Amino acid sequence: MGKREAWNTILVFCILTFGFTAATIIKPSDDFSETENRSLAQMPKLTGKNILDGTFESDYESYLTDQFILRDAWIGLKTDVERLAMKKESKDIYFADDDYLIEKHTGSFTTTQAERNIQSLAQFFDMYQDTFPKGHRSVLLIPNAVDILRDKLPPFAAPYDEEDYLAKAKATLADDLWVDAGSVLRQHTDTQLYYRTDHHWTTEAAFYVYQNWAAAQKLPVRDADHYEIRTVTDAFEGTIQSKLGIHTVTDSIDLYLAEGDPFYTVQKNGSEEVDYSIYDYSALDTKDKYAVFFGGNQALVKISTRAKADRRFLVIQDSYAHCFLPFLFEDASEIDVVDLRYYNQKLSDLIAEGNYTDVLFLYNVAGFAEDTSLAKLLG
């Protein structure tokens, strides 16, 4: 290579390295990524303290990563190149059969946090065994797609940590608490149990588990023909698609609407404003279409029904519960729904004031293992 060619190479390298960085700094910062459904890092303020303690460098790196010009396009290009190279995974996500993008959850189930969460859950039910006696308390830990859809995974995939973790959780909890969602889902693998581009289960999967759970709780078990199954979108691309930046397939979201549409009211996060549906149909016009349920994650939702029922449920949950909860509306007069990731009041105060008869703990397994907020169960 001649001297001119060498200088040209150096010049191109400098333009690519510094030009894109400069363009990133010059362009207005985006506050929110609709693609990833999260807030984006902003330019950190420069102070003597954050330089000395190293936080400025860390925050600045996060800022450049989140605000990098044409970021979504670069992410998608990287994933496309990996697929062309016949790679079977990217960013801890398997490229699985039938266009499924399935998260591996590598390392999620073997951490100190994962073990601590099992212990916190067991201690919670021990603390409230008089408040919620046998027959009025239950745990649903919903297996993730990597566990249930093993036949769709690439060769040599190793999705075994999750089952070991579930077995440990079951062994730690009192026998009457456990409802085996995994065995139910494995009976229905001929249908779509998970979205192909998102980490959530489908409403149909939630319905099958609901039937099993209702029988265990000695509640009426309703068949599918009790509901109008309404497809509200067929253009859903979820959080896993967002991580990879590629477009493969789209999914449908179904709502199971009970006959007669039982009357209920909804109040969110202590607001006095009353809604008459848990469904936020405006979310169907956004990237985060799963937010059709409750408008997305909420700290506390209070649901009052006109059901002629004596049960008052406390549901401690993550977003897997959102499509499950409507199945309870005909069997409870009150349902209070708490997401501890966002709820900053004392849970013990809510329980003391709520006059609940039943408690349901419902999480997806990976979300449960990774959640850093479950110490609030004991507060």
Let me know: does 135 contact 357? Beta carbons within 8 Å: no
Contacts for 79 with CB less than 8 Å, ≥ 6 apart: 90, 91, 244, 245, 246
What is the rounded distance in angstroms from the CA atom of residue 312 to the CA atom of residue 337? Answer: 11
- Give pLDDT, residue 47: 79
Phi, psi of 363 (to 5 degrees): -140, 155
Burial class (CB in 10 A: 0-12, 13-18, 19+), 373: middle
Task: Convert the pLDDT of each residue in 89-140 to its tens digit.
Answer: 788 899 999 999 999 999 999 999 999 999 999 999 999 999 999 999 999 9
Q: Which one has a higher pLDDT value, 88 or 77?
A: 88
In angstroms, rounded to a whole number, what is the distance separating the alpha carbons of residues 8 and 226? 71
**Strand, coil or helix: 32:** strand
3-state secondary structure of 213: helix
User: Is residue 65 scored above 80 in pLDDT?
Assistant: no
Among the listed residues 221, 248, 297, 343, the one whose alpha carbon sits nearest the alpha carbon of residue 38: 297
Question: Is the Cβ–Cβ distance between 335 and 305 less than 8 Å?
Answer: yes
8 A C-beta contact, residue 329 and residue 307:
yes
Q: How far apart are CA 70 and CA 86, in angstroms?
A: 25
pLDDT of residue 21: 52
- Residue 361 makes CB contacts below 8 A (sequence gap 6+) with 121, 124, 138, 139, 140, 315, 316, 317
Query: Cα–Cα distance between 307 and 220 in angstroms, integer?
Result: 13
- pLDDT tens for 167-222 read 999 999 999 999 999 999 999 999 999 999 999 999 999 999 999 999 999 999 99
pLDDT digits (tens, 9 = 90+) for 258-307: 987 678 999 999 998 999 999 999 999 999 999 999 999 999 999 999 99
> What percentage of the chain carries pLDDT values higher than 90?
70
Q: Give the full edge-to-edge strand order of the sheet including 93-95.
A: 89-90, 93-95, 101-103
Average pLDDT in the chain: 86
Distance of CA 223 to the CA centre of its chain: 27
Burial of 216 (0-12, 13-18, 19+ CB in 10 A): middle
**What is the per-residue pLDDT for 261?**
65
**Pair 253, 288: CB distance under 8 Å:** no
DSSP code of 87? -
Cα(14)–Cα(316) distance, rounded to whole angstroms? Answer: 53
What three-state secondary structure class fits 298?
coil
| DSSP states of 269-296 | TT-S--BS-SB-GGGGGSS-GGGGBTTS
Worst-scoring range by mean pLDDT, 4-18, 103-117, 151-165? 4-18
